[in-house]
Amino acid sequence: MKKLTAKFDNSTDDLNFQLQFGILENISHSLKVEFTVIKNKMKTNFVTGANSGLGLWTSKCLLDLNYTVIMACRNIEKAQKSIDSFLKFKIKKNYVVKILDLGNFDSIRSFVKGISKHENIWRLNCNAGLSYTETFRNTKNGMEKIFGTNYIGHLLLKNLLLERFKLKRIVFIASSLHDPKNKSPFAPAVFREINELAYPKENPDSTLKKQCEEFYATSKLCMLLFAYKLNRRLKHKNLSYKTFINAINSGLMLTTNLGRTHKFGENLYRSLLDFIFKIIGFSNNPKSSGRSVVKLTNAVTTSGKYYEKGRPVPSPIDSYDRVKAIRLWEGSEAIIGSKFLSK
């Protein structure tokens, strides 16, 4: 009988130990989760073009992970309207919408100056992009609008932020269209001297539509050239902190707000292509792409890479051309009127 009692007591002790261990384990897990929440809230993420499409979903996915998000948008009213109609944002509070026109140097400089120097800027998502197929349009500074916004605007923003903050992640949203050998129906990228890219002339042997498609593809190629050059430049500076610089192809999304300047016929054409491409597995949607972008940029410990479908892959030969990268870098400095990483 005594043996039975002893066995019972030991079982009770063992059960109590397991219960206590389980409780401690749950407390430990809760503390880890809470610590991650607090840590992420202390990390501020910029997302350009955050009022719709990929930018909006990227912001939402960052907020899901409890990061602080600054949604940089050209039109505050439109951005707020998009947010108000997007139920996923109703329970999110750790974000702010700020005005940023990437086609206006003064707007970019004002945006950066308006950020507290004590802000812990952790990541810059260079997401904003535009295209059009009508008469050439110019930025506030007189450049062709696609090149001036998609490439030059992001470049100036990145430079000003790096001069003031220790960014840990810079993400350039790329496109497969940057590949001159791309076999899509869209016009391929054509690298030219920077003055020809910034101040192009109408080509009588082409159409406005094809020229504008070329502008967009080339702006993405220039972004890659600059990303790789920036990565090399930062490595040589031997900074006390590490900045991971990568480009990510978020996939083909034909019906996002990128085509906001297109007319009804063009939008219908894009919707039809999007439907066909989804059937054959070529088209993505902003929700899944936003998740992929955030997940990947959180996990990567590499820099100077180009990612497609979650893994690093070689980008076109043109994007690794160091001579072109130097010409582009120096030409960009001349257009903006300031040196990059001069400090």
- DSSP letter string, 70-109: EEEES-HHHHHHHHHT-GGGTT--SEEEEE--TT-HHHHH
Q: What is the Cα–Cα distance from 96 to 59, expressed in whole angstroms?
A: 11
Q: Which of 197-211, 244-258, 263-277 has the lowest mean pLDDT?
A: 263-277
Highest mean predicted confidence (pLDDT) among 244-253, 268-277, 315-324: 315-324
The H-or-E segment that residue 124 falls in is strand 121-126
Report helix, strand or coil for 191: coil
What is the rounded CA–CA span in Å between residue 51 and residue 86? 10
**The two three-digit tokens of residue 200, written as one number:** 């192009």
Q: Are residues 115 and 25 in the same domain?
A: no
- DSSP state letter for 314: P
**pLDDT tens digit string along 211-220?**
999 999 999 9
Confidence of residue 31 (pLDDT cuts 50, 70, 90): very low
If asked whether residues 114 and 26 sit together in one domain, one would say no
- Shared domain check, 24 and 132: no
| pLDDT, tens digit, 9 for 90 and up, residues 32-49 | 444 455 556 679 999 999
pLDDT at 144: 97
Assess if residue 234 is contained within a domain.
Answer: yes
Question: Residue 263 above 60 pLDDT?
Answer: no
In the predicted structure, residue 276 carries a pLDDT above the cut 50: no
Q: How many CA atoms lie within 13 A of 138 on its CB side?
A: 8
Q: Check whether residue 288 and residue 164 sit in a common domain.
A: yes
Q: Quick check: helix, strand or coil at residue 313?
A: coil
Kindly state whether residue 85 falls inside one of the protein's structural domains: no
Q: Which two tokens mark 207?
A: 């159409």
The pLDDT score that the predictor gives to residue 274 is 52
Please tell me whether residues 34 and 120 are part of one structural domain.
no
Lowest mean pLDDT segment, chosen from 58-62, 173-177, 268-272, 313-317 = 268-272
Task: Output phi, psi for 106, to 5 deg.
Answer: -65, -40
pLDDT greater at residue 138 or residue 237: 138
Same domain, 146 and 5: no
Is the same domain home to 266 and 137?
yes
d(CA 42, CA 113): 20
Q: What is the pLDDT of residue 286?
A: 77
Domain count, the chain: 2
pLDDT of residue 8: 43
How far, in Å, CA of 208 to CA of 136, rounded? 8
Phi, psi of 118, deg, nearest 5:
-90, -5
Distance from C-alpha of 203 to C-alpha of 223, rounded to nearest angstrom? 24
Nearest 5°: phi and psi at 287?
Answer: -65, -55
Element (DSSP H or E) covering residue 223: helix 208-237
CA distances (Å), origin 313, targets 158, 305, 308, 309, 316? 24, 8, 7, 9, 10
pLDDT tens digit string along 240-260? 789 999 999 987 555 555 555
Query: Is the pLDDT reported for residue 140 higher than 90?
Result: yes
Confidence of residue 1 (pLDDT cuts 50, 70, 90): very low
Domain that holds residue 242: 104-336
Burial call 43-61: b when 16+ CB within 10 Å, e when fewer: bbbbbbbbbbbbbbbbbbb
Report residue 281's pLDDT band, with 50, 70 and 90 as the boundaries. Answer: very low
Q: Please tell me the predicted confidence (pLDDT) of residue 82.
A: 85
Q: Are residues 194 and 322 in the same domain?
A: yes
Dihedral sign computed on CA atoms, order 54, 70, 105, 231? negative
Average pLDDT over residues 289-317: 89
Q: How far is CA 157 from the centre of its chain?
A: 13
Q: Is 18 inside any structural domain?
A: yes
- Identify the weakest region by mean pLDDT among 3-7, 111-115, 237-241: 3-7
